[in-house]
Copies of this chain bind each other. A is one copy, B any other.
Amino acid sequence: MNALSDLQATLDPSRRSWVESANDSTNDFSIQNLPFGVFSARQNDARRVGVAIGDEIVDLAALQAAGLLKLSAAKTDVFARDTLNDFIALGRETWRSVRVQLSALLARDTAMLRDDAALRARVLVRQADAKLHLPVHIPGYTDFYSSKEHATNVGSMFRDPKNALLPNWSEMPIGYNGRASSVVVSGTPVRRPNGQLKLPDQERPVFGACRKLDIELETGFVIGAGNALGEPVACADAEAHIFGMVLLNDWSARDIQQWEYVPLGPFNAKTFATTISPWIVTLDALEPFRVAQPVQEPAPLAYLRHEGRHAFDITLEVTLRPQQAKRASTIARTNFRHMYWTMAQQLAHHTVSGCNTRVGDLMGSGTISGPTDDSFGSLLELTWNGNKPLELNEGGTRSFIEDGDELTLLGWCQGDGYRVGFGACAGEIVPALK
């Protein structure tokens, strides 16, 4: 067995599955994708690890119990678990071995599971019958600020349009520590936060519900192999530490943020909720969509340099559906490839001081804005701080998010006849506490 060629075969664009829904070129979960998540089902409410395929989920705990999934690791009891952490901790060889085995098992020509109805009934769960949970326990959450267009837009609005980018921005992937406790999975309702608001006509702040509630369209990556305290991860090695990616909505209360953030950064404006998509798409599945990152000028300091291509061609969309509306409106379209700083550079910078990372740590990209007015990743930018309200297809206009609005992030890589997608990252806003 040649491990590398087996892995290569899982990316073969012509491979199709006997799970027919996976072969629809607009279904996020092709046989080339095979993202990992945690689910429970109506008929079995224990949480366990699954892999999405078309409209189905492969129950890895059941598959292992049936003898159809072999792990060579010392510890193999990792799938009947509330989170992916134990599985991820086994390391990249194991992730890849599971990917290779699943790809083979689900391929159109493999009869073992395809032709055994009783086994299929134990191992496959319809996504429509499943509940998806937060896929990992997240020991630490960090958020970066790595879109040049986003940083320029924000700097233009709140500081000086002529010097919108601060001098440090071009030298390092600026980041800050986020709040891990309030990271929730797609579908979790999000309560509008209360906090201190500084109104222009009043000397002192007032307490009340956020009036400028916003999204931030981001991706996040999940640490698959940590580093010890005092031992930085080199930029060239950084991708080997990444298990995979998710979509991430860094909900933001712009009015609370504006009043609180100097000098220590955003806090209550962002700690009330961060939503991620339930499926973690592995870097292996994203490999065919690797593209060159933007040219970096000035050339980064040595510890931030890497050879080759480290951006990914991931189409991103944001939709908004008002509570009474039947249809959602697409309010932004952009692409992850626009990001100035790469994930590898983010991780190298994060650890260069000696900071340690752990399996399951989540690192947000920062808001992903493209170069055009309709490619911005936040309402703050799309409406230019509320000054240019968006027209929705149905449900009026929006400057910021209203109660009952459902915001959804979507993301996918489009292959030739197949899609590697993330599923939805959605949240509906419920009214603030009185």
**By the criterion CB–CB under 8 Å, are B179 and A176 in contact?**
no
Q: Which of A37-45, A118-126, A252-260, A400-408 contacts B (4 or more CB under 8 A)?
A: A252-260
Q: In the complex, which residue of chain B has the Cβ closest to the Cβ of A173?
A: B267
Q: Among the listed B184, B205, B256, B303, which residue makes an inter-chain contact with A353, where contact means beta carbons less than 8 Å apart?
A: B256
Is there a chain B Cβ closer than 8 Å to A191's Cβ? yes
B264 touches A266 (CB 8 A): yes
**Is A291 at the interface (CB under 8 A from chain B)?**
no
How far is B180's CA from A373's CA once the two chains are assembled, in angstroms?
Answer: 38
B265 x A265 contact (CB < 8 A): yes
Q: A182-B229, A273-B354, A358-B181 are known contacts. Are A264 and B174 too (CB-CB below 8 A)?
A: yes
A117 in the interface, Cβ–Cβ < 8 Å? no
A contact residues, total (Cβ < 8 Å): 61
Give the chain B neighbours of A303 by CB distance below 8 A: 207
Contacts of A256 in B (CB 8 A): 353
Shortest CB distance A402–B (Å): 18
CB within 8 Å of B: which of A296-337?
298, 301-303
Bound complex: CA A253 to CA B355 (Å) = 13
Kindly identify, within residues 172 to 195 of chain A, every residue whose CB is under 8 Å from any CB belonging to chain B. 172, 174-182, 184, 191, 193-195
Known: A353-B272, A358-B181. A166 touches B267 (CB 8 A): no
17 residue pairs of the A-B complex, CB under 8 angstroms, read: A139-B139, A166-B262, A168-B205, A168-B259, A174-B267, A177-B179, A182-B355, A191-B230, A193-B352, A194-B354, A195-B352, A205-B301, A206-B301, A230-B433, A263-B265, A264-B265, A272-B353
Interface residues, chain A, with chain B CB atoms under 8 Å away: 139-140, 145, 166, 168, 171-172, 174-182, 184, 191, 193-196, 198, 204-207, 229-230, 232, 253, 256, 259-269, 271-273, 298, 301-303, 349-350, 352-358, 361, 433
